[in-house]
Amino acid sequence: MNYTLHQLQVFLKVTQTKSITKAAEELYLTQPAVSIQLRNLQDQFDIPLTEVVGRQLYVTDFGKEIAEAAEAILNEVQAINHKTLAYKGQLSGRLKISSVSTGKYVMPFFLSGFLHEHPGIELSLDVTNKSKVVESLAQNKVDFTLVSVLPEGLDIKSTPLMKNSLYLVGHDKPKKKNYTKSFMGEVPLIYREKGSATRAAMENFVDGNRIAASKRVELTSNEAVKQAVIAGLGYSIMPLIGIKNELSNNDLHLYPMKGLPIETTWNLVWLKSKRFSPAAEAYLDYITKEKTDIMAQHFSWFENY
């Protein structure tokens, strides 16, 4: 057999996501590239690793065993790399973070300086909805999570990073200086999927003000909601952090309304009982010292709204 580490890495990601498309996204590869690596690995085994039923990809029992072996091999390779760097006196290891989907507009700016200072550290950043982020935290699968609403029922510690403001957003330029809440009952409203913190904030505002929505649309990502609003399909309550360029280009507009914006805070969260690796310990120290400067450098535009 002559399989490569890259093939094992691709196969492991496919087994974790149950999707070639999602594996390609997380590995920053094209779908054809993932398919080729998967096929090249499969060619070395007489027993199928995966199978497709309908349009759903399934991992066979044999494939699951190979995936477990692949994960063990890749972990050992990473350990070798980390030991080599440690021997050279460099900070090394893997930093694992999960972030709610709109946190993708925030988290990279709080990571880039740290990773430039410590090139030996590997980053694993999983961007998903809030329910999955909280699940990964509860199961101790990550060092830190980024959320705008602190999870309940967990013994946690946190440090605030910056505020998160959510506004009513539409495609057309507002014709009034102030809109009443009844306006939201007269237009189509576009929601994020269940499990999203943005969805929960929007539902709380709509339900709390007894707004009877005339039409509801549900989409599965902040980007999809944004494009739907730009296309004129409806209105949505969205985080300001994710629409800077669209506001500047006049593709989107903020609709003034009493009770808005909804204000929350982006928090870096970890389990109180978490035993930090040297990489995680160094990152928390970095955030404590540098977060104010990072906000001033990258998010001063926030104060203009």
For the chain, what is the HEC assignment?
CCCCHHHHHHHHHHHHHCCHHHHHHHHCCCHHHHHHHHHHHHCCCCCCCEEEECCEEEECHHHHHHHHHHHHHHHHHHHHHHHHHHHCCCCCEEEEEEEEHHHHHCHHHHCHHHHHHCCCEEEEEEEECHHHHHHHHHCCCCCEEEECCCCCCCCEEEEEEEEEEEEEEECCCCCCCCECHHHHHCCEEEECCCCCHHHHHHHHHHHHCCCCCCEEEECCCHHHHHHHHHCCCCEEEEEHHHCHHHHHCCCCEEECECCCCEEEEEEEEEECCCCCCHHHHHHHHHHHHHHHHHHHHHCHHHHHC
Q: 153 falls in which pLDDT band (50, 70, 90)?
A: very high
Q: Is 131's pLDDT higher than 70?
A: yes
Q: What is the mean pLDDT of residues 107-133?
A: 91
Q: 88 falls in which pLDDT band (50, 70, 90)?
A: low
Q: Is 114's pLDDT higher than 90?
A: yes
Q: What is the mean pLDDT of residues 129-141?
A: 92
Domains by residue range for the chain, with CATH:
5-85 (1.10.10.10), 91-162+265-304 (3.40.190.10), 164-263 (3.40.190.10)
pLDDT of residue 239: 95
pLDDT of residue 85: 58
Of 95 and 84, more confident: 95
pLDDT of residue 148: 92
Q: What is the pLDDT of residues 7-27, one digit of tens each?
A: 989 999 999 988 998 888 888
pTM above 0.75, yes or no: no
